[in-house]
Structure 1
Amino acid sequence: MEEDIITIRDLNVAYQDKPALWHINLDIKENSRTAIVGPNGAGKSTMIKTVMKLIRPVSGNIKIAGRTDKGVLKTIAYVPQKGEVNWDFPTTVLDVVLMGRYVHKGWIKRPNRKDKEIALKALKTMKMEAFRDRQISELSGGQRQRAFLARAIAQDADIYVMDEPLQGIDITTENLIIDVIRQLQEDGKTFIVVHHQLNTVKEYFDHVVILNKTVIASGPVDAVFTEENIETAYREKGIRT
């Protein structure tokens, strides 16, 4: 039986006096690849930022389930949209990936040999080891996304929250990212991904949340990713993406 790893109840979020999300009730299944889809302005990024405690809700409750077998709270890694990152910051690809290790050390202790080995392994997974000493400002869009996913992998989290990781990248990088997500799911990881390509939802994900300010439908892709639910979510905008 699938267990819930994130439980959201009666969540309401607003920007100043403008509602962004209302009455969100949602269960995210552990060890799932869950897509969050909906029209522009539906509140997809707002919802995952609220889960990450980057946005404070007006009301409601978000619960991260249980504890790991090591007796510590489950950890979350966040991969933001590329537009939210200062790519001109003077740092190398390896240093970016090493940032994923600070969650285990705090910001005072410097990464040790083991941390560097983990970071290099993550770069190899994303086929970015040849770029380890390159400045991030010199990378292409796809390479930047690979570097940030490598940072998340180095964090070795239980839950990975990703905001449109496939937006504006080449097909080779897209296929690599999906392959890595599937591999990590086999290791017990959970993925929550804001996704904009409706035509690949069934191929890439096993669960889906259809959102437009509130949850239109959620559950296994085969059960809820229907024409009726999609039309309901996109009807207000009258668009498909």
Structure 2
Amino acid sequence: MFDYAIETQDLTVAYQGKIAIENINLKLKRASRTAIVGPNGAGKSTLIKAILSLEKRVTGQVSIEGDDSKKARQKIAYVPQKGDVNWDFPTTVLDVVIMGRYSHMGWFKRPSKEDKDIALNALKAMKMIKFKDRQISQLSGGQRQRVFLARAMAEEADIYIMDEPLQGIDIKTEALIMETIKNLQEKGKTFLIVHHNISTVPDYFDHVIMLNQTIQASGSVNDVLTEGNIKNTYYEMSDE
């Protein structure tokens, strides 16, 4: 069994000739909760999209548990930023969560009783079962995040990549999401999460990647989250 869930080598992404992230070499430990932190424009979302092959790489390789094939991406469940989702799309909460089963059942097959039960159990875990027939457009921001985590849970993936899942939600939902993530980690799941609040990193994560176009520091929170590394990562903010 591989020690690392995700490895990247010399990963570089550019937009219109301008480097977004450069020479990213990281090893994401299996069964860890890893935060990606850094200033606005540091390339945090670009990094996870490059790992997911949602952004074209200039250079570099990505392997998932030692496999660099496209099929390996099926081991990953992705929770995008809220702003990347069309919330006006006419569908119910349960239908959204059942979408997490598509990789198991195929796009043109009807969900089985097992698929529906898995989706319903995910909604129960996120305390959203009573909203299962509600249109997603009628949900609050925190409720929407719960639904999207439920969808990811329904995928039964090995690795969960999440882009700012705690941004703009209520404290109760934040606590529930982190409790769920910790419970899944205890079952061997791995999390890579873009996070905006550096003050909560020690409470929520065991590993951290400090990014500003390149990796400034990476490792366990206790070793890496130092005043010096924070200054090195966020130095550009003082020039704004």
Partner of 1:197: 197
Name the SS for the 2:217 alignment partner.
Answer: strand
Partner of 1:167: 167
Deviations 1:128-149 (A, max 9, x none): 0000000000000000000000
Question: Structure 2 CA distance, aligned partners of 1:9 and 1:25?
Answer: 5
> How far apart are residue 5 of structure 1 and its match?
1.3
Question: Structure 2 CA distance, aligned partners of 1:86 and 1:7?
Answer: 31
> How far apart are residue 79 of structure 1 and its match?
0.1
Question: Structure 2 CA distance, aligned partners of 1:5 and 1:188?
Answer: 11
Partner of 1:142: 142
Partner of 1:23: 23
> How far apart are residue 66 of structure 1 and its match?
4.0
Deviations 1:198-224 (A, max 9, x none): 110000000000000000000000001
Normalising to structure 1: TM-score of the pair? Answer: 0.95
Partner of 2:238: 238
After TM superposition, list the pairs within 5 Å mapping 1:88-127 onto structure 2: 88-127=88-127
What one-letter code is carried by the residue in structure 1 that aligns with 2:78? Y
Partner of 2:45: 45
Question: Structure 2 CA distance, aligned partners of 1:22 and 1:192?
Answer: 19
Partner of 1:87: 87
Question: Structure 1 CA distance, aligned partners of 2:7 and 2:66?
Answer: 11
> How far apart are residue 155 of structure 1 and its match?
0.4
Name the SS for the 1:14 alignment partner.
Answer: strand
Partner of 2:131: 131
> How far apart are residue 236 of structure 1 and its match?
1.2
- How many equivalent pairs are there? 236
Name the SS for the 1:237 alignment partner.
Answer: helix
Question: Structure 1 CA distance, aligned partners of 2:214 and 2:152?
Answer: 28
Partner of 1:62: 62
Question: Which consecutive aligned stretches of 4+ in structure 1 deviate over 6 angstroms post-superposition?
Answer: none
What one-letter code is carried by the residue in structure 2 that aligns with 1:92? T
What one-letter code is carried by the residue in structure 1 that aligns with 2:58? V
Name the SS for the 2:36 alignment partner.
Answer: strand
Deviations 1:162-218 (A, max 9, x none): 000000000000000000000000010000000000110000000000000000000
What one-letter code is carried by the residue in structure 2 that aligns with 1:107? W
Normalising to structure 2: TM-score of the pair? Answer: 0.95
Partner of 2:178: 178
Name the SS for the 1:218 alignment partner.
Answer: strand
Question: Structure 1 CA distance, aligned partners of 2:113 and 2:65?
Answer: 32
Partner of 1:151: 151
Name the SS for the 1:169 alignment partner.
Answer: coil
Any unmatched runs of 5+ in structure 1?
none
Question: Structure 1 CA distance, aligned partners of 2:75 and 2:186?
Answer: 17
Structure that is richer in helix per residue: 2
- Over aligned residue pairs, what C-alpha RMSD do you find? 1.7
Identity between Structure 1 and Structure 2 (%): 63
Question: Structure 2 CA distance, aligned partners of 1:150 and 1:178?
Answer: 13
